[in-house]
Amino acid sequence: MRTIQSRAHPYTVEEFLTLDAAIESLGRLDQMHFLVDSVLLDRLGAARRQGLPESRIVSLEASEHAKSYGALERVFLDLLERNLKRSGTLVVIGGGVLQDAGCFIASVLSRGIRWVLIPTTLLAQADSCIGSKSSINIGSYKNQLGTFYPPHRVLLVPDVLRTLPYDELRSGLGEVIKLQVLSSEAGFEELMRDLVGFEAFADDRRESFLARWVRRSMDVKQPVIEADEFDRGQRLLLNYGHTFGHAYESVSDYGIPHGIAVILGMLTATALSAELGMVPVVHAERLFSLLRPWHEPYAERLASVGREQLLQALAKDKKNSATGLTCILTRGYGAMERMSLTPEQVAGLVWPTIRRLIDSGFSGGIMGTDSSAGLGKPTA
């Protein structure tokens, strides 16, 4: 059992062999209400659902729309009508969308009620389930609303990852890989070795691989979120790959899964860092070659994107202020830096680099023919 410190309250991360065992650990269910991914709820079937009190289950679709401010009004009202009060507990079972919705609801209902999270995707287990954040959409603005409010308990069940589609696992692996790139060369190389042959792993081997790298991901993330829960300093580096990744998700109309977009975003940041002389080209080329199996063929979805469309998507990111572009670049494994690029650098370096990466399928030939001389240094 892991205990994580937070300004709101400390919380535990516990592992269980089965979902039933996790639910069993909740104890008496009479003050508990359940917010459950609708697909998962169907899949659980009557037998598995027996453990949950039917009258206190609210089902939620795992879509971007479902975690919008407007759509959540119905969920709040559903829970209030079922008499969820200040002394109650909300148990959230699902992936990132369910976590975002559940965290926001729990943090705002009666100014904060107790909640328990059972993450059911690799992305949620390895990354988002710790760190307190919720992200809510409003109108056409994605993730612009939210709160910092960790669950009181996180219950990990590696077993539930067993049935996930391969591409959803790959999406989760995107964040797992990112955390090791942020950590150290040794961690990253170890993960890459463990990943060899992943697609063909037998069920048991896959499950123990995932349980192990969920733990290793938390080992990297925990000290960062404990030191900077509110995203003012070092925690911002966890967004490595996200400025570009979010833009890729957006311009592909969310046709690129989040974690895979993060891989493409990391590669973009690496290429830019190489262009700016911050990191050796050989470092960048090795990363492009190792990560290719973990994003292909999604870069194709970007083939038709235009300059204006991409720059607008970049400007929408909430981390970007009115002028220029703030992003995280790299000087190597475990050596990321938050940088401000000028509008001139965005036009003269960022866009041409991205265009070249898209044309090559993010597979190589990363350096431009022009040198980057004259573009100036980014300011830290």
* Residue 319 interacting with a second copy (CB under 8 A): yes
* Residue 69 interacting with a second copy (CB under 8 A): yes
DSSP 233: S
Q: How many other CB atoms are there within 10 angstroms of residue 59's CB atom?
A: 16
Contacting a second copy (CB under 8 A), which of 133, 246, 283, 301?
133
Block residue for tokens 């090791």: 180
Query: Using H for helix, E for strand and C for coil, what is the string for 4-69?
Result: ECCCCCCEEEEECCCHHHHHHCCCCCCCEEEEEEHHHHHHHHHHHHCCCCHHHEEEECCCCCCCEH
* Residue 111 interacting with a second copy (CB under 8 A): yes
Binding-site size, a second copy (CB under 8 A):
35
Contacting a second copy (CB under 8 A), which of 27, 51, 70, 306?
70
* Residue 323 interacting with a second copy (CB under 8 A): no
Site for a second copy in 218-257 (CB under 8 A): 230-231
Are 45 and 70 spatial neighbours (Cβ–Cβ below 8 Å)? no
Separation between Cα atoms, residue 24 and residue 8, nearest integer Å: 26
Contacting a second copy (CB under 8 A), which of 83, 312, 371, 379?
83
Q: Which is nearer to a second copy, 3 or 230 (CB)?
A: 230
Nearest partner of 127 among 241, 16, 39, judged by Cα:
241
Separation between Cα atoms, residue 304 and residue 228, nearest integer Å: 39
* Residue 76 interacting with a second copy (CB under 8 A): yes
Q: Which of these segments, 41-49, 262-270, 302-310, 317-325, binds a second copy (CB under 8 A)?
A: 317-325
* Residue 321 interacting with a second copy (CB under 8 A): yes
Q: Which is nearer to a second copy, 247 or 274 (CB)?
A: 247
Take residue 372 and report the two structure tokens written for it. Answer: 């980057």
Q: How many other CB atoms are there within 10 angstroms of residue 193's CB atom?
A: 8
Least separation in angstroms between residue 314's CB and a second copy is 14
Binding mask 85-104 for a second copy (x = CB under 8 A): xxx-----------------
Least separation in angstroms between residue 76's CB and a second copy is 5
* Residue 375 interacting with a second copy (CB under 8 A): no
Q: Which is nearer to a second copy, 86 or 162 (CB)?
A: 86
Take residue 85 and report the two structure tokens written for it. Answer: 């009060």
Take residue 39 and report the two structure tokens written for it. Answer: 């697909």
Least separation in angstroms between residue 32's CB and a second copy is 14
Nearest partner of 52 among 74, 96, 19, 17, judged by Cα:
19
Contact footprint for a second copy (CB under 8 A): 7-8, 69-70, 73, 76-77, 80, 83, 85-87, 107-112, 133-134, 136, 138-139, 141, 144-148, 230-231, 318-319, 321-322
